[in-house]
Amino acid sequence: MVFWHYLLPFVFFAALIIQLVYILGIFTGLLSHDDHEPDSEQKNKPGVSIIVAAWNELENLKELLPLLEAQDYPDFEIIVSDDRSVDGTYDYLLFNEGNFKKVKFVRIESLPSHFTAKKYAVTMGIKKASKEIILLTDADCRPSSNQWVATMVAQLSQGKDIVLGFSPYEYFDTRLNSLIRYETFQTALQYFSFALAKIPYMGIGRNLMYRRELFWVTNGFSSHHGLLGGDDDLFVNEASNKDNVAVCISSDTHMISEPKKTWSEWITQKRRHLSVGKRYKFRDKFLLGSLAISHLISWFWVLPAFFIKPDWFEAPEWSRIPTYLLDDHNLQDFYPYNDWMRLVTFVFFVWLLIRWIVLAKANNKLNNTISSWKIPYYDMLYAVYYLIFGLITLFSNPKKIKWR
Same domain (yes/no): 183, 91: yes
Residue 292 lies in a domain: yes
Q: How many CB atoms lie within 10 A of CB 91?
A: 11
Domain termination residue (choose one: 272, 303, 326):
272
Residue 106 lies in a domain: yes
Same domain, 60 and 156: yes
Residues 391, 362, single domain; the answer is yes
Query: Residues 266, 305: one domain?
Result: no
The answer to whether residues 314 and 385 belong to one domain is: yes
Query: 254: helix, coil or strand?
Result: coil
Nearest C-alpha neighbor of 389 from the set 74, 202, 88, 179? 179
Q: Examine the domain organization and report whether 191 and 292 are in the same domain.
A: no
- CA nearest neighbour of 12 among 309, 344, 340: 344
10-residue block means of pLDDT along the chain (404 residues)?
77 96 97 90 84 96 97 96 94 93 95 85 95 96 96 91 96 91 95 97 95 93 76 90 96 94 83 75 94 95 84 71 71 65 89 97 94 94 84 57 45
In a domain, 189, yes or no: yes
Residue 231 and residue 90 share a domain: yes
Residues 54 and 77 in one domain: yes
CATH code, 53: 3.90.550.10
Residues 257 and 388 in one domain: no
Co-location of 66 and 109 in the same domain: yes
**Residue 279 domain-assigned (yes or no):** no
pTM: 0.90
b/e code 92-123 from CB counts within 10 Å (16+ = b): bbeeeeeebeebebbebeeeeeeebbbbbbbb
Examine the domain organization and report whether 147 and 255 are in the same domain. yes
The answer to whether position 278 is within a domain reads no
Inside any domain, residue 280: no
How high is the pLDDT of residue 350? 96
Q: Same structural domain for residues 181 and 326?
A: no
Domain boundary among 272, 295, 318: 272
Whole-number average pLDDT of the chain = 88
How far CA 102 is from CA of 6, 94, 256, in Å, comes to 66, 13, 22
Decide which of 241, 272, 303 is a domain's last residue.
Answer: 272
The answer as to whether 174 is a domain residue is: yes
How many domains is the chain partitioned into structurally? 2
Q: Domain residues for 295? A: 2-28+287-400
Rounded distance, CA 167 to CA 142, Å?
Answer: 9
Position 11 in a domain: yes
